[in-house]
Amino acid sequence: MLATIEFLNIVLPVLYLFTFVVYAYDFFAEKNLLTNSKRIFLFITLFVHIFYLLLRTMEYDHTPITNKFEIFSLLAFSICFSYFILELLTDIRGTGLFIIFFSVVFQTVSTFFIEHDYAVPDVLRNRLLGLHVISALLGYSGITISAVYGVLFLILYKNLKASKFGLIFNRLPSLEILEKLSFYSLVIGFALLSVAITIGVIWLPSAFPNFSYTDPKIIGTAIVWFVYGTGIVSKLFANWYGKKVIIFSLSGFVFAILSLIFTSTLANTFHSFY
């Protein structure tokens, strides 16, 4: 089984890169030759990836969240999987390349640095932690996708304002759709982050004797959650539109990333396992 895991570990970035190239070709060539088939490549990649994650779970007897590079692989999967679901639901196929790019990066880094023989602390074998991390990752995937659509919205917005009718104008969906995609992925991301926070609040105090609600990571996450929550409520109840919503969403994403970097590297937190 280990040989298969090692083999799939090498195959996965190749598959992601290939899928990315197919999506990029379809976007730039403007010939719609691969419009239908590219989704099949994405499905195959995701299928192989989920098989790889299951093999790892069985082989090592824990969910693949015990080191940064397992997390990266899971993040690559969750970003692409979230996009795949979004593409299936909306049938908007022209934006995949901008999202699959993140999966290519995360999976490539994971493939190069992941280890196949390592000791795992008992706390990381806990199933609730698995749920906590997976929901958090899916949540962050949601807000990442939301940010990508936000950036695409701003690019198309600027192109339209400047009367530039090139590739971006021809290939991207309308501003209204980009705004909706950004908002829907944000709402899904927010919901999953809420699940992750809820599980964390229930489980962490019992798992860690030095647990504290003033921990920088908990405060940072709570602020991110509050920022996104405010944005969603404003959009729904104060009728915010277009650029305003997108800028709010992008600001939330930047804050979330900075908060993650700060709490993972600079701050002293009990909430650090790797």
Partner 1 sequence: MNFLSITINHKTAPIELREALHLSRNEIVDFIPVLKNELSEGVVISTCNRTEIFGLPKNDNFNSNSLVSSLLEFKPVKEIKPENFVKYFSCGAVKHLFSVSAGIDSLIIGDSQILGQVKEAYEISEDLNFTGTILSRLFDSAVKVGKRSISETGIGEGAVTVSYAAVQVVEKIFANLDKKSALIIGAGETAELAAVHLHDKGVEKITISNRTIERAEKLAEKIHGEIIPFQFLKEHLHNFDIIISATSSDNFILTKEDIIPAVKKRKGSPVVIMDIAVPRDVEPEVKKIDNVFYHDMDSLKIIVDQNLLKRRNEIPIVEKIIMEEMVSFFGWYNALEVVPTIKSLREFFDEIRSDELEKIRNKISDDDYAKIEDMTRRMIGRILHNPTVKLREVAESGANLQKLTSNTILLKELFALDKNRTNNNSQKESKDNH
Task: Closer to partner 1 by CB, 119 or 162: give it.
Answer: 162
Q: Tell me which of 169, 208, 213, 274 binds partner 1, using CB under 8 A.
A: 169
Contact status: 174 vs partner 1 (CB under 8 A): yes
**Rg value, the chain, Cα:** 19
Q: Point out which span in 5-13, 68-76, 124-132, 237-245 binds partner 1 (CB under 8 A).
A: 237-245
Q: Between helices 2-29 and 96-113, what is the axis angle to 10°? A: 150
Query: Which string of x and - marks every residue 138-157 that binds partner 1 (by CB under 8 A)?
Result: ------------------x-
Total residues contacting partner 1 (rule CB under 8 A)? 19
Alpha carbon distance 238, 193 (integer Å): 23
Contact status: 180 vs partner 1 (CB under 8 A): yes
- Alpha carbon of 168 to those of 65, 71, 91, 95, 153: distances in Å? 37, 33, 18, 10, 10
Q: Tell me which of 7, 37, 201, 242 binds partner 1, using CB under 8 A.
A: 242
Contact status: 239 vs partner 1 (CB under 8 A): yes
| Amino acid letter for position 118 | Y
Site for partner 1, residues 46 to 75, rule: CB under 8 A: none
Q: How far is the CB of 230 from partner 1 (least distance, A)?
A: 17
Contact status: 274 vs partner 1 (CB under 8 A): no
Contact status: 175 vs partner 1 (CB under 8 A): yes
Q: Report phi then psi at 220, rounded to 5.
A: -60, -45
- Alpha carbon of 232 to those of 82, 146, 219: distances in Å? 19, 12, 20
Cα of 151 vs its chain's centroid, Å: 15
Alpha carbon distance 81, 47 (integer Å): 10
Contact status: 244 vs partner 1 (CB under 8 A): yes
Interaction site with partner 1 (CB under 8 A): 156, 160-161, 163, 165, 169, 172-177, 180, 239-244
